[in-house]
Amino acid sequence: MDHSNMTDEEMEEMNMENGHASHTNLVALNNSTGENELAIPQLIEPKDGVVTINAQQGTTEIFKGVQSQTFGYNGSFLGPVIRVNEGETVIFRTKNELAEPTTFHWHGVDISGEGDGGPHQLLGPGAMEDVKFTVRQGASTLWFHPHPEGSTAEQVYKGLAGLIYVEDNNSKNLNLPKEYGVNDFPLVFQDREFTVEKQFDYQAVRNDDGTIGDTLLVNGTINPKLTIGKEKVRLRLLNGANARNYTFKLNTGDKFQQIASDGGFLNSPIEMSKITLAPGERAEIIVDFSKYDTESDIALLNEDDAILLPFIIDEQKTNPLQISTSLNDFAVTDKERNLSVTKKLELFGMGKMVYINGKQFDMNRIDFSQKQGDTEIWEIYNKPDAMGGMIHPFHIHGTQFKVVSIDGNEPPVNLQGWKDTISIEAGQTVKLAVKFNNKGIYMFHCHILEHEENGMMGQVEVI
């Protein structure tokens, strides 16, 4: 079905039916009361080249004294941080211990289509699969989550998500906070809606334009606070929500430095007073707590001033770290800039009526092909509708791309780095330089997970 020729009246009617009007009045997030110290996921590394990852179900005490039914990797809720090094060959030994099919998708990882864990790589209950690959990308904060057709959104919502840290010689040598859980913290932001019994009831709260909730979990912790030292601290932010955008800022109005985008370091730290991440996006930031005294009231807020994460400044640190000023050598080359557009994608719609080039996902249809190692320019246009339209965070599997332009202009400096997901506003056109280093079939889709489930996804075959 192609809806691009609908009249404005027809569109409006469709929008009202889809509840679009109500969705734009986002459910507000509750403030974190700072009652609970933030959970720090377990950090795991390959042993003899193998990392074991089990998808499980279990119960978790999210609210004191209440057991909630949850999903997790290697535990009952969420997952570990898997740390790997560039150049290393790794086997992810995956096992599905759920009572339903799942897949293990490595979001942002340069990996073959077969190993990518898209909807084609379905594992039934009890099934195991070894995914072997060599880490061929630089230092970055990536993540993993399920991708079975029709239940990605629900499985993520219930707790299936973890992080992957890639380290390389550069990241090891740079002057950056890098002590895991001491001055280098993963922060996975997800908003959820709980039933009165404090359970997830995904089907009851599911929204076709993206399921949002009033309750924030950071690393699965409700009402979190983070105790840190009086020093420079690195926060690796992941928007792991199904649909909500977060705009992070400090309550003091002070600036922080962004050092990395989705797929690696920016060329140099960038001073920012706020940063917006759409679902699927990551950023690494440095906050300088050395300039505050221990009594200070410091917190990470959302755009609307909701308190996301209060900080407790704990101890005196004496050796101040000078953050490296040169972090990477990322560039969009002249050659890439001069390439003509070879793939055009039009994102359109909302609710159940979401399309890429007028089509919805079909597992048996390959939408594009591309040659391994060739760089092509993908032009993505987010076509507005009668009500304006929505932001669609556009993601491509199996690679990191470069943002060449946004509406013909140079992208903001914090998007001048490796990306695998880009937030595209209604009316915007972005040009991406896309290269796949491996072969296979890869998904591209909107990372509002319910849009993805509703068919805002296509497939590119790399040959």
Q: For residue 105, state whether it binds ligand C2O (rule: CB under 6 A).
A: yes
Q: For residue 192, state whether it binds ligand C2O (rule: CB under 6 A).
A: no
- The nearest distance, CB 5 to ligand C2O, in angstroms, is 29
Considering CB distances under 5 to 8 angstroms, the limit depending on partner class, which of ligand C2O, Cu ion, none binds residue 448? Cu ion
Q: Concatenate the DSSP letters of all residues of 48-107 into one string.
A: TTEEEEEEEEEEE-SSTT-PEEEEEESSSSB--EEEEETT-EEEEEEEE-SSS-B--EEE
Among 131, 238, 300, 448, the residue binding Cu ion under the rule CB under 5 A is 448
**Closest residue by beta carbon to Cu ion:** 446
Tell me the site size for Cu ion, rule CB under 5 A.
Answer: 6
Q: For residue 397, state whether it binds ligand C2O (rule: CB under 6 A).
A: yes
- The nearest distance, CB 327 to ligand C2O, in angstroms, is 25
- The nearest distance, CB 246 to ligand C2O, in angstroms, is 16
Q: Is 214 helix (H, G, I), strand (E, B) or coil?
A: coil
Tokens of 170: 């550069």
Q: For residue 147, state whether it binds ligand C2O (rule: CB under 6 A).
A: yes
Q: Give the Cα separation of 343 and 175 in Å (integer).
A: 40
Q: Which is nearer to ligand C2O, 397 or 435 (CB)?
A: 397
Sheet strands (E) in 108-255:
128-134, 140-145, 162-167, 184-192, 215-218, 221-222, 224-230, 232-239, 246-250
Determine contact, residues 148/195, Cβ cutoff 8 Å. no
Determine contact, residues 280/457, Cβ cutoff 8 Å. no
Strands 105-107 and 215-218: unpaired
Torsion of CA 382, 385, 389, 395, to 10 degrees: -30
Q: For residue 395, state whether it binds ligand C2O (rule: CB under 6 A).
A: yes
Q: For residue 392, state whether it binds ligand C2O (rule: CB under 6 A).
A: no
Q: Is 292 helix (H, G, I), strand (E, B) or coil?
A: coil
Write the secondary structure of 252-270 as one string of H (helix), E (strand) and C (coil).
Answer: CCCCEEEEEECCEEEEEEE
Residue 165 forms beta bridges with which residues? 83, 141
Taking CB under 5 A as the binding criterion, the range among 61-69, 152-160, 284-292, 444-452 that sits at the site for Cu ion is 444-452
- The nearest distance, CB 435 to ligand C2O, in angstroms, is 18
Mark residues 84-123: x for contact with Cu ion by CB under 5 A, - for none.
Answer: -----------------------x----------------
Name, in order, each residue with C-beta under 8 angstroms of 395's C-beta and a sequence gap of 6 or more: 107, 280, 420, 421, 444, 445, 446, 447
- The nearest distance, CB 327 to Cu ion, in angstroms, is 24
- The nearest distance, CB 342 to Cu ion, in angstroms, is 22
Q: Which is nearer to ligand C2O, 244 or 445 (CB)?
A: 445
**Closest residue by beta carbon to ligand C2O:** 107
Q: For residue 280, state whether it binds ligand C2O (rule: CB under 6 A).
A: yes
The single-letter DSSP state of residue 234 is E
Residue ranges binding Cu ion (CB under 5 A): 107, 392, 397, 446, 448, 451
Residue ranges binding ligand C2O (CB under 6 A): 105, 107, 145, 147, 280, 395, 397, 443, 445, 447
